[in-house]
Amino acid sequence: MMVAASLATLTACSSSGGTTPKDADLVRADAARATVGQADLTAAAQSTNAFGLDIFHAVADEKSTNVMVSPTSLATVLAMLLPGAGGQTAAEMTKTLHSPLPAAQFANALGALNQNTVQRALADKADLQQYDSTWTQKGYQLQQPYLKALAAAFDTGVHETDFAGAPESARQTINEAVQDQTKGLIKDLFPQGTITADTRLALTDALYFKAKWADSFAKGDTSDRSFDLLNGSSADVPTMAQDAEFAYSEGDGWQYAELPYQQNHLAMGIVLPASGSFDGFRKGLTADKLSSMTGSAYNVKVDLQLPKFTFDTSLQLKDQLAALGMTSLFNADQADLSGIPATPEKLSVSTVVQKTHVAVDEEGTTAAAASGVGVAAGAAPGQVSKTIVMHVDRPFLFLIRDTVSGQILFLGQVTDPRG
């Protein structure tokens, strides 16, 4: 995993063992990566997934369009902020993140979880990269415990820029870094006006994923097939087909199939609600239900048809996070981020953004996500022999997860494969 990466002219700290040159702009505490036990890794994965379902519901339940979020990316950027929070703000963040762990312990666990996922992906010859970057105003001193927390959990430090004198230039620099980290897929993470002269700190997490299916779909088997839309009409969309063995489960009103990427440590899960039940099923989906689907899947031959799809999602998430319980974080009078600045100054979060991209075809999947936070001053069944039929010809949900830890990297819905 790559962390603390910025523009190509700067340097990245690598937690996967690579050696990188020192960056003159990087302020970093001398702290080794934290050692994390399996219990904390499991807790971090479960917390991230539960938080991810909350965010997905908050942004998707009232939408009839294609939507994707990255639970891992958003949880990570908030975990980077969490060690600097105190009092009610820290309690609200911890509760909203579903974490049973203290702030620094959760940050350490999530950082290690991300690192393990990336290393498994690299061993599988998949391309999975994650960059954690922090930017602060030139000359703005941060507390050493906070810098040590960033180093121990995410192997990163802080880049200095000039928010006060040139906020638009700083915004463009950060956005260009994220664009570079996601290989051009995520552009303009922070919209115009979200970085101002009052910004003191900006945190970003960028996640890039590209992997081939363990067994690719034959392009000759792809053809236009009818897909039912939410408005009652239908459209012909390019649909892949494969008759093969997949991990599969089913229940009252749903089917689940898991498509592994090469070496099987990462996979895409497809959740297909019964015809006409998409909205109600989506709203009732919980992390526990999703875990039950994945945990009860068994290998069986499946006649699978799956549309190709490509789309982007852009979200501003302050209101959704506040509605989930992070209320004081965005209130200039109530926020407690006192563990960040070396010289006391009232800070609060001014913006939380996420952008995602996904493309699924016969060869595999390309997906990317970037999340940003701006901090401102002032304010199982047995094997069966029959072939299961699963034709994804109506709105469905999908996820990309680490099959070892269970951590969900991406979670989304497709209501119209045409984008």
Read off the pLDDT of residues 264-321 as tens digits, 9 standing for 90 and up: 899 999 999 999 999 999 999 999 999 999 999 999 999 999 999 999 999 999 999 9
- Domain range annotation of the chain: 2-21+33-211+311-377, 215-308+381-414
**109 secondary structure, DSSP code:** H
Q: What phi and psi values does residue 256 have, to the nearest 5 degrees?
A: -135, 130
Q: In 3D, which of 169, 19, 16, 41 has the Cα closest to residue 105?
A: 41
pLDDT reading at 18 higher than 50: no
Judge residue 198's burial from the number of C-beta atoms within 10 Å of its C-beta, 0-12 exposed, 13-18 middle, 19 or more buried: middle
74: left (phi over 0), alpha (psi -120 to 50) or beta: alpha
377 contacts 202 by C-beta, under 8 angstroms: no
Give the C-alpha separation, 266 to 63, whole Å: 28
End-to-end CA distance of the chain: 30
Give the C-alpha separation, 410 to 209, whole Å: 10
Q: In 3D, which of 173, 192, 176 has the Cα closest to residue 184?
A: 176
What pairing do the DSSP bridges indicate for beta strands 364-377 and 199-212?
antiparallel
Query: What was the pLDDT predicted at 17?
Result: 28
CATH superfamily of 2-21+33-211+311-377: Antithrombin, subunit I, domain 2 (3.30.497.10)
* Confidence grade of residue 29 (pLDDT, cut at 50, 70, 90): confident
pLDDT reading at 159 higher than 70: yes
Query: What was the pLDDT predicted at 4?
Result: 28
Q: Exposure string (b/e) for 127-146, b if CB count within 10 Å is 16 or more?
A: ebbbbbbbbbbeebebbeeb
**pTM for this model (two decimals):** 0.92
Q: In 3D, which of 56, 111, 86 has the Cα closest to residue 334?
A: 86
72-83 tens-digit pLDDT: 999 999 999 999
Give the C-alpha separation, 245 to 383, whole Å: 11
Fold observed for domain 215-308+381-414: Alpha-1-antitrypsin; domain 1 (2.30.39)
Angle at 377 between CA 345 and CA 138, to 5 degrees: 85
185-224 tens-digit pLDDT: 999 999 999 999 999 999 999 999 999 999 999 999 999 9
* Confidence grade of residue 16 (pLDDT, cut at 50, 70, 90): very low
How many other C-beta atoms can be found within 10 angstroms of the C-beta atom of residue 193?
Answer: 10
Query: What was the pLDDT predicted at 31?
Result: 87
217 contacts 241 by C-beta, under 8 angstroms: yes
Give the C-alpha separation, 11 to 13, whole Å: 7
Q: In 3D, which of 107, 118, 157 has the Cα closest to residue 134?
A: 157
Q: What phi and psi values does residue 315 have, to the nearest 5 degrees?
A: -135, 140
Q: What is the CA radius of gyration of the chain?
A: 21
Q: Exposure string (b/e) for 12-47, b if CB count within 10 Å is 16 or more?
A: bbbbeeeeeeebebbbbbebeebebeeebbebbbbb
Half-sphere exposure of 121 (CA within 13 A, CB side): 28
116-155 tens-digit pLDDT: 999 999 888 899 999 999 999 999 999 999 999 999 999 9
362-373 tens-digit pLDDT: 999 999 999 999
Q: In 3D, which of 22, 80, 83, 74 has the Cα closest to residue 316?
A: 74
How many other C-beta atoms can be found within 10 angstroms of the C-beta atom of residue 305?
Answer: 20
